[in-house]
Amino acid sequence: MGRRWPTNAAGQTYGSLSDVDEAGDEPDLYLAQATNGRTGYLNRAECEAATGGTVSTLEEAAAWNRRLADLAAAGETISVPVYAEDGRTVVGRFEFANPAQGRVRPRPQRPPRSE
C-alpha cells in the first residue's frame, strides 16, 4: 500500500509530488505555486485534461496537436486553477509550457546578392 495522504473535507487527498513513493500513488491535489506567487494545489484530473493526458485515439491526438498549435499561434498558454487545500477555493492559476510554442520554423533564406 502506498502513502497515506491527508484528506480535505471533500474527501480529496493532497500533498507534494516529491513525496510520492510509487507510481499511481499521487494525491488528488498536488502542491504547486501559482503565477501570482501563492502556493496551493493543482487538481490531478484537471491537469491531465489540460496537458493531453486523456487523449486515447489518433483522432484525439491530431485534434490535441491542432489545439496546441492554435494556442501557440495566438500566444496563449494552457492554464488550470490553483486551489486552496479545500480543493474549491481558487488562489491563482498555473500555466503549463506549450510544446508547440517551442517549435521554431526557420525563415527562408534569400540567396546573397551578386554584384
Listed by start position, the domains of the chain span 14-96
pLDDT, residue 64, reads 87
- The answer to whether residues 6 and 14 touch, using CB atoms and an 8 Å cutoff, is yes
Helix-strand-coil split of the chain, %, nearest 5:
25, 25, 50
The SS3 call for residue 8 is: coil
pLDDT, residue 23, reads 81
Convert the pLDDT of each residue in 83-99 to its tens digit.
999 999 999 999 987 76
Q: What gap in Å lies between CA 79 and CA 84, rounded to an integer?
A: 16
pLDDT, residue 29, reads 97
Give the CA diameter of the chain: 78
Q: What gap in Å lies between CA 71 and CA 19, rounded to an integer?
A: 33
Kindly tell me if the per-residue pLDDT of 108 is higher than 70.
no
- The answer to whether residues 38 and 92 touch, using CB atoms and an 8 Å cutoff, is yes
Convert the pLDDT of each residue in 37-91 to its tens digit.
999 999 999 998 888 888 888 888 888 888 888 888 888 888 999 999 999 999 9
Minimum mean pLDDT range among 2-6, 23-27, 82-86, 108-112? 108-112
